[in-house]
Amino acid sequence: MTDTPETEGRERILTAGTTAPDFTLRVTADQSLRLDELRGAPVVLAFYPADWSPVCGDELSVINAALPMLHERRAQVVAVSVDNVWSHEAFSSVHGLHFPLLSDFEPKGAVSRLYGAYDDSTGESRRALFVIDAAGVIAWSYLSPVALNPGVDGVLDALDALTPDERRG
């Protein structure tokens, strides 16, 4: 990955071929999700800066609208920000989201840091997308400028590029 104004001098996100670091994050106040629980099918992992920001709302709404296409490709979707579970629950309800929002709240940004998707200067996750194959290996990653909605075309292309073995683990 070459440096752009958005990435110059910053930690880089994890790239294709890297084993996706496992993590456990809260989905609700009393429910957690562990990445390893999703093994056996591709995972779309979307880091985003904050609930209630216009671009984040648009990005997650686009992902939500694309769920039928993602599910056709056997992909599961999870999104991560440093917001707390209460904010996620309200945000998800207002936007009608049908995938889990995971709280990287405490210790703040720990999982975002593992993936190179934490911005120390803002205290938020950066806008980063990962496609993880069924065996838990990153097949594709993309760091988007924070002010731009990256859409799902790259994700769909990355899922389509998976081999049958990468789709089923």
Q: Is 57 tagged catalytic?
A: no
* 141: β partners: 130
The CA distance from 25 to 5, in Å, is: 31
Q: Give 31-34's long-range contacts (Cβ < 8 A, gap of 24+).
A: 33/78, 33/100, 33/102
Sign of CA dihedral 131, 136, 139, 145: positive
One of 56, 80, 102, 129 is an active-site residue; which one? 56
Active-site annotation, residues: 56
